[in-house]
Amino acid sequence: MGLDSSAGAGLRNEEGIAAVIGVLRQRFGEQLQTGEALRAQHAHTTTYIPGQLPDAVIFPNSADEIKLIVRACADHRVPVIPYGTGTSLEGHVNAPHGGISIDVSRLDHVLEVNTEDLDCTVEPGVTREQLNAHLRDTGLFFPIDPGANASLGGMAATRASGTNAVRYGTMRDNVIAVTAVTAAGEEIRTARRARKSSAGYDLTRLFVGSEGTLGVLTSVTLRLQGIPQAISGGVCPFPSVEAACNAVIMTIQMGIPVARIELLDALQMKACNAYSNLDNPEVPSLFVEFHGTEAGVAEQAAMFAEIAAECGGGEFLWTANPERRTELWKARHNAYWASLKLRPGAKGISTDVCVPISRLAECVVATQEDIASAGLIAPIVGHAGDGNFHVLVLLDTEIPAEIEAAEAFVGRLNARALAMDGTCTGEHGIGQGKRRYLSQEMGEGVSVMRQIKQALDPLNIMNPGKIFSFDG
C-alpha cells in the first residue's frame, strides 16, 4: 500500500538516543518507560503497515513538560513522535528512525467551555466520547465522529472527519485554534477564539493535518453544536451500488440537510449482520440520519424515501427511537472489525479515496469491478455524502503475492480517484502509507510543504518519515 522503503529502519542517532533517554529519565523518572511491550503498543497500527518501535515512551503531565522533552530531543537530534490513542491508519505513530514517543493521554482535561460562544478548549488527550460526556448537560456536543474514540489532538493532527461530515464538516472546519510546541521547544498559539480573522497566515490550518510533523499539539479550541431537538435514522436497501450512489447524489443536490448518509456494499452488509447480529437485507444499502425538529426530520425522511424509490431502492425503514438508532450506528462503526471476520486471521489494508460527488457512482462501480477481477476480498463502506469511501482489503501478510496484489489494487484505486479530480486520502492522512501518492496529487505543491517543514523543523525531529521525506 505504498510503505516506501525509505520509511524503513532508516538512520538512527544511537548516541543521541542513549543520551536523551538518560537526560529524560533523570528529569522525569517513572514517566519515562522503555519496556518492549509498551513501546510495541505505541507503534501499533490497525492496518497492515509493520510496527516500528520508539526507543522510549514518555507521559508528560503538562505543556511545560512537553517543552522540556522537545528541547532535550532537539539538543540531541532525536525524533519526537506524538501519540494520542493510536487509532490512525497510515503508520503515523511509527518510529522509523527510533526516538521518543510522547503519549499525551495524561493531558486529558477540558480546559474551558464557552456555552454562549459555542466553543471549548481541551487538552490533546481528551477523547471525543469524553468531551461529549462532559458537554451533555450544556445542551451542546462536538459532532465530528470518526468511529474510533480517538483523542481530539490526534483528530486535529490528522484532519479527521467521519460519518457526519456531510453536515458538520471535518476537523479543518471545526478547529478554531491550537497551541503547539514547535521543534524549537517553544509553545505557540495559532489564533484567538473569534469566529473569523484575517490576521496574517492561517497557522491553525497549517497545524491541522500536519500529522505531528510541525509540532506537538498541547490544546485544541473547537466549535460546538447544539444537540438537535430530534434525530431520526434508518436503512434503505438498493439493487446495486450504482443505484445507491445515485440516491446519494440526488439527496445532496436537492439540498436535503442530511446529517449522515453512509454507503455499505453487499459484502459489508453481510459482515455487519453477522458481527452485530442484525437481519438487514444483504444488498447495497444506505444508512441515513437526519437532525432537526420533530417535524423537520420527518419531512426529510419522507423526501429521502421518495428519492430512494425513484432510484430503485426498497422500503426506507426509519425510526426516531434512540435505542434502535444506536444499534444501527454501532453496527456501522464496527464495520472494520466485522470485516475482519470475513477472513479469520487476515489483516486489513484500510484505504480511502474521495472524489467529487458527481463521480462517486462511477468510481465505486469501477472499484468493485477491479476488486472482482483481482480476486480480492474487500468490502466497501463510504461517507457517501462527501464522495468519500473506504475499502478494506483482507490479506494474508505471510504470502508475498497477496501483498503485491493488494498494493497494486491500492495504486489503481488512488490513480482512479486522482483521474476524477479526487484525492488519495479523504480522511486517513498521508503518514507512511500514502507518501508515494502525495506527489501524484499535489505535484510541485509537495516542494512547498517540504520548504515549510524545513523552516519550522530544520533538524527533522518532528515525526520524521511521515507525509514526505527531505530526500524524495
Strand partners, 230: 292
- At residue 328, the pLDDT reads 85
Q: What's phi and psi for 249, nearest 5 deg?
A: -60, -45
Region 268-274 average pLDDT: 96
pLDDT at position 8: 47
Q: Is the dihedral of CA 104, 107, 109, 115 positive or negative?
A: negative
27-79 pLDDT, tens digit each: 999 999 999 999 999 997 666 788 999 999 999 999 999 999 999 999 999 99
Looking at residue 115, what is its pLDDT?
97
Whether 7 has a pLDDT exceeding 50, the answer reads no
Nearest of 188, 208, 183 to residue 79 by alpha carbon: 183
The larger pLDDT score, comparing residue 2 to residue 444, is at 444
Considering the chain, what percentage of its residues have pLDDT values greater than 70? 97
Class of domain 230-337: alpha beta
> What distance in Å separates the CA atoms of residue 291 and residue 260, rounded to the nearest whole number?
9
What are the sequence ranges of the domains in the chain? 5-105, 110-226, 230-337, 340-442
Which residue is it, cell 461529549?
132
The band of 5, judged by pLDDT with boundaries at 50, 70 and 90, is very low
Question: Where are the strands (E) in 128-224, listed by range?
Answer: 140-141, 175-182, 187-189, 215-223
User: Options 3.40.50.1970, 3.40.50.1980, 3.30.420.10, 3.30.43.10; which CATH number does 5-105 get?
Assistant: 3.30.43.10
All cell numbers assigned to 74: 532537539
| Pair 247, 149: CB distance under 8 Å | no
Residue 240 C-alpha cell reads as 446495486
Assign 2 a pLDDT band (cuts: 50, 70, 90): very low
- Per-residue pLDDT, 6: 42
Examine domains 110-226 and 340-442 and report if their fold is the same: no
pLDDT of residue 238: 97
CATH architecture of 340-442: 2-Layer Sandwich (3.30)
pTM for this entry: 0.93
pLDDT for 469: 79
Q: What would the pLDDT profile of 106-124 be if each residue is shown by its tens digit?
A: 999 999 999 999 999 999 9
Query: Residue 472 has what pLDDT?
Result: 40
Give the architecture (CATH level 2) of 110-226: 2-Layer Sandwich (3.30)
Q: Specify the pLDDT at position 303.
A: 95
